[in-house]
Amino acid sequence: MDTIRAFIAIELDAPLRAALGELQGRLKRAPLGRLGRWVDPGGIHLTLKFLGDVSTSQLPELRQALQRAAGEVLPFDVALAGLGCFPNTRQPRVIWVGVDEPTGALKRLQCAVERELGAIGFPPEGRAFTPHLTLARVRDQVASLERAELGAWVQQQSVGRVGAMCAAELALMQSQLRPGGAVYTCLEAAPLQRREE
């Protein structure tokens, strides 16, 4: 059985990717920046649901579910601001930039994705949706003390609004893991628009 590694996301526009690249450049140049493996800005997405390995026979059904979910929400603006760490700043594994969307449209879209994919057999996410963009992953060999220093440093960074864009479509993405890093391909793009009643 052929499978692909897949996820549902909102792709970023070029100006926002450029702004993220500038932010990463600033953070990387700091002394503690060496502790992170920085994500290529071209590979940063706003992930709404990670699917894992999916049978290629499920792709038509997935494409239809994506179209239905996208049809429930009008396009909306998202802004990027603030830095944080997962799981926490004491022992960070991931450094992220926050996503601000005050109208609730992003949450509604994510719920629609969960509902439509649940209907075709994909289990719901076990934890609450926390919209973010991953900037870096902390290197595995970093000691606890240095991790805590890094987390404290991230917390002290004053990062205002990084940029904004209009989210106008939902994407079914394929991720291919390669020695040089993951390669992402959009398999389906579904425009956001409220269904006609």
The residues carrying an active-site annotation are 45, 132
CB 93 within 8 A of CB 87: yes
- Residue type at 119 in one-letter notation: A
Q: What is the per-residue DSSP string for the chain?
A: --EEEEEEEEEPPHHHHHHHHHHHHHHHHSGGGGGEEEPPGGG-EEEEEEEEEEEGGGHHHHHHHHHHHHTTS--EEEEEEEEEEES-SSS-SEEEEEEE-TTSHHHHHHHHHHHHHHTTTPPPPSS----EEEEEEE-TT--HHHHHHHHHHHHH----EEEEEEE-EEEEEEEEEETTEEEEEEEEEEE--PPP-
- b/e string for 89-126 if b means 16 or more Cβ within 10 A? beebbbbbbbbebeeebbebbbbbbbebbeeeebeeee
